[in-house]
Chain A
Amino acid sequence: MREELLALIEKNSRIDLGELAVLLGAGEAEVVSELSALEQEGIICGYHTMIDWEKTSREKVSALIEVRVTPQRGQGFDSIAERIYQYPEVQSVYLMSGGYDLMIILEGKTLREVSSFVSEKLSALESVISTATHFILKKYKDHGTVLSRKKEDERQMITP
Chain B
Amino acid sequence: MRNPLADRIVEIKPSGIRKFFDIAQEMKDTISLGVGEPDFDTPWHIRDEGIYSLEKGKTFYTSNAGLKELREEIAEYLYRKQGIRYEHPMEEILITVGGSEAIDIGFRAMINPGDEVLIPQPSFVSYEPCAVMAGAKPVIIDLKEENEFRLTAAELEEAITDRTKILVLPFPNNPTGAIMERKDLEAIAEVILKHDIYVMSDEIYAELSYKEKHVSIAQLPGMKERTILINGFSKAFAMTGWRLGYACGPQAIIEQMTKIHQYAIMCAPTTSQYAAVEALRNGDRDVAEMCTAYNQRRRFLVHAFREMGLPCFEPYGAFYIFPCIREFGMSSDDFAMRFLKEEGVAVVPGTAFGDCGEGYLRISYAASLENLRTAMERLGHFLEKLRGERGDR
A97-111 residues with Cβ-Cβ distance < 8 A to B are: none
Which residue on chain B has the smallest CB distance to residue A153? Answer: B39
- A155 at interface (Cβ–Cβ under 8 A)? yes
Provide the B235-267 mask, 1 if CB < 8 A to any CB of A, else 0.
000000000000000000000000000000000
- B185 at interface (Cβ–Cβ under 8 A)? no
- When the two chains form the complex, which single residue of B21, B124, B300, B353 contacts A158, counting CB atoms closer than 8 Å? B21
A156:B296 contact, CB within 8 angstroms? no
- When the two chains form the complex, which single residue of A7, A8, A157 contacts B346, counting CB atoms closer than 8 Å? A157
Provide the A141-160 mask, 1 if CB < 8 A to any CB of B, else 0.
00000000000010111111
- A23 at interface (Cβ–Cβ under 8 A)? yes
How near does chain B come to A4, taking the closest CB pair, in angstroms?
A: 6
- CB neighbours of A4 from chain B (8 A): 292, 296
Provide the B316-360 mask, 1 if CB < 8 A to any CB of A, else 0.
000000000000000000000000000000101000110000000
- A22 at interface (Cβ–Cβ under 8 A)? yes
- What is the size category of the interface that chain A forms with chain B? 10 to 19
How near does chain B come to A112, taking the closest CB pair, in angstroms?
A: 40
Provide the B256-296 mask, 1 if CB < 8 A to any CB of A, else 0.
00000000000000000000000000000000000010001
A158 touching B20 in the complex, CB below 8 Å, given contacts A22-B303, A153-B39: yes
- A19 at interface (Cβ–Cβ under 8 A)? yes
- A25 at interface (Cβ–Cβ under 8 A)? yes
A157:B34 contact, CB within 8 angstroms? yes
B37:A22 contact, CB within 8 angstroms? no
- When the two chains form the complex, which single residue of A7, A156, A158 contacts B348, counting CB atoms closer than 8 Å? A158
Which residue on chain A has the smallest CB distance to residue B32? Answer: A157
B179-205 residues with Cβ-Cβ distance < 8 A to A are: none
Tell me how many residues of B have a C-beta within 8 Å of chain A. Answer: 28
B349-376 residues with Cβ-Cβ distance < 8 A to A are: 352-353, 369
B35:A155 contact, CB within 8 angstroms? yes
- CB neighbours of A8 from chain B (8 A): 296
- B133 at interface (Cβ–Cβ under 8 A)? no
- When the two chains form the complex, which single residue of B17, B32, B299, B369 contacts A160, counting CB atoms closer than 8 Å? B17
A19:B300 contact, CB within 8 angstroms? yes
How near does chain A come to B91, taking the closest CB pair, in angstroms?
A: 32
- A24 at interface (Cβ–Cβ under 8 A)? yes
Q: How far is the CA of A4 from the CA of B17 in the complex (A)?
A: 36
Q: How far is the CA of A12 from the CA of B107 in the complex (A)?
A: 48
- B36 at interface (Cβ–Cβ under 8 A)? yes
Which residue on chain B has the smallest CB distance to residue A151? Answer: B41
- CB neighbours of B303 from chain A (8 A): 22
Which residue on chain B has the smallest CB distance to residue A26? Answer: B299
B296:A158 contact, CB within 8 angstroms? no
Q: How far is the CA of A156 from the CA of B22 in the complex (A)?
A: 11
- B103 at interface (Cβ–Cβ under 8 A)? no
How near does chain A come to B211, taking the closest CB pair, in angstroms?
A: 12
Which residue on chain B has the smallest CB distance to residue A4? Answer: B292
How near does chain A come to B333, taking the closest CB pair, in angstroms?
A: 13
- CB neighbours of A157 from chain B (8 A): 21, 24-25, 30, 32, 34-35, 346
- B223 at interface (Cβ–Cβ under 8 A)? no
How near does chain B come to A17, taking the closest CB pair, in angstroms?
A: 14
B21:A156 contact, CB within 8 angstroms? yes
- CB neighbours of A22 from chain B (8 A): 299-300, 303
Which residue on chain A has the smallest CB distance to residue B307? Answer: A22
A1-23 residues with Cβ-Cβ distance < 8 A to B are: 4, 7-8, 19, 22-23
A158:B17 contact, CB within 8 angstroms? yes
How near does chain A come to B341, taking the closest CB pair, in angstroms?
A: 14
Q: How far is the CA of A53 from the CA of B126 in the complex (A)?
A: 51
Provide the B33-50 mask, 1 if CB < 8 A to any CB of A, else 0.
011110100000000000
- CB neighbours of A156 from chain B (8 A): 21, 35
- CB neighbours of A24 from chain B (8 A): 296, 299
Query: What are 20 of the A-B contact pairs (CB < 8 Å)?
Result: A19-B300, A22-B303, A23-B300, A23-B369, A24-B299, A25-B299, A155-B35, A156-B21, A157-B21, A157-B24, A157-B30, A158-B21, A158-B32, A158-B34, A158-B346, A160-B17, A160-B36, A160-B124, A160-B125, A160-B126
Smallest CB-CB A-B distances: 9 pairs: A158-B34, A23-B296, A157-B24, A159-B36, A22-B303, A160-B125, A158-B21, A157-B32, A25-B299
Apart from A22-B299, A23-B369: 4 A-B pairs, beta carbons within 8 A: A24-B296, A153-B32, A158-B17, A160-B174
Instruction: Show the binding face of A for B, using Cβ within 8 Å.
Output: 4, 7-8, 19, 22-25, 153, 155-160
